Chains A and B, each alone.
Chain A
């Protein structure tokens, strides 16, 4: 239960982090909040030669609005997101998603970007990033790539981050659709990993037709599941539980839930369908209340 030995480095600039990352290659692991990496080190599921702590980077905990986007820096912790008035008012689904993560002890240390880079299939934030169309900024000594979240997650704990690359920022659009965002999940106990989790956002027109919709689910396969063509089909339909249920069915046709001790795959599918309908309904109500409906 103790990590294998490693060298610890704490650079004080991003350039120095990228330089070390380039030098060490796959022998190095980046450490942000450590709430996923530390257990993996303790269990020796990972044995890096070098751990590069991002804790010395100045202003890395910046969470700010810029050009109608929310920009999240590499050391923004989950609890900072939960407590942010900006996030709660302009992109409430993000605050809700962060609030579902682990226990308070974990939220006080764990970071948004760390969770995205870790890409746990049951994690909340990857699904939220996919649903709300986040852009992930990946930087290395060679330059910078901007990846849509839907192209960032490649599989179980697999992302598009290349060797020598670091996730330096997550940009989330701030608009009427994200202002109506909702995140909900079901776990057996407070703080447990979700059996299924849903990020959703839906706006309706004045006459009750779906104007725009985004949705992704977590815990239902190796990475977040979404279905842009089902979203397109939902647009123009009169919003109702029945059409939401059909949408959930279409989306979940891409899901690959697993049986385990906590729940059967079949139960997870039913749970996810019910959570999708619930989240879409809640988001629709939030959108109307905020006067955000677009024609």
Chain B
């Protein structure tokens, strides 16, 4: 790729795989993941930090990938929703709990919810209902009314404790 003004070389690790890209300075991490790396599990709703559908883990911390430049991911470990399963396309206990408890309807917010819940359960394996509600408060769901999502995350915490 020719060196265009504003292009930046960036190296980071996505779901355990090292990647090297040349990106426009203005490109968000979300666009880089979706358009550059074809990781379309990360959804883009509002592109201004409100909806949470684009949540990913950066160095283990939940962040909005639309509020981060791809260039800012230099040297970071990024985990998208594609990276939280158990390999061989098997669902992990959190994903299974969403399936079992009807934790999704249209599915648009689901990647954001799964990532927020992954971060929560790593930090706090036995959250209260209120803690779950707070942890997903940054992700907007227009279908479920949230109850089944909270139930799913609590069920996942139970399943993972067993």
**What residues make up the interface of A, taking CB atoms closer than 8 Å to B?**
1-8, 10, 31, 34-35, 38-39, 41-43, 51, 53, 55, 79, 102-106, 108-109, 189-191
Secondary structure of the B side of the interface?
A: mixed
**Contact assessment for B116 and A104 in the assembled complex, using a CB-CB cutoff below 8 Å:** yes
Given contacts A8-B8, A53-B69, A191-B138, contact A105 B26 (CB under 8 A): no
- Given A8-B69, A109-B68, A191-B137 in contact, is the A39-B49 Cβ separation under 8 Å? yes
Name the residue on B nearest A2 (C-beta). Answer: B26
**Residues of A contacting B5 with CB < 8 Å?**
7
Q: Which residue of A10, A34, A79, A105 contacts B74 across the interface (Cβ within 8 Å)? A: A10
Whether B137 and A190, one on each chain, are in contact in the complex, defined by CB atoms closer than 8 angstroms, is yes
B25 at the interface (CB under 8 A from A): yes
Q: Which of A4, A38, A51, A104 contacts B49 (CB 8 A)?
A: A38
> A1-B46, A42-B28 given. 10 additional CB < 8 A pairs?
A2-B28, A2-B31, A3-B26, A34-B69, A38-B48, A38-B69, A39-B67, A53-B72, A105-B55, A190-B134
**Residue B156 interfacial (CB < 8 Å):** no
Question: What CA separation (Å) do A7 and B25 show in the bound complex?
Answer: 6
Residue among B48, B69, B119, B137 having the largest count of chain A Cβ atoms under 10 Å: B69
List the A side residues contacting B47 at CB < 8 Å.
1-2, 42
B: contact size bracket: 20 to 34
Query: A34-B68, A53-B71, A104-B119 in contact; A6/B6 too (CB < 8 A)?
Result: yes
Partner of A42, one of B48, B61, B72: B48
- Complex CA–CA separation, A35 to B50 (angstroms): 11
B26 near A35: Cβ-Cβ < 8 Å = no
Find out whether the CB atom of B67 lies under 8 angstroms from the CB atom of A34: yes
Q: Which residue of A lies closest to B25 (CB)?
A: A8
Residues of B within 8 A of A79 (CB): 61
Task: Tell me, in angstroms, the Cα distance from A103 to B48 when the chains sit together.
Answer: 14
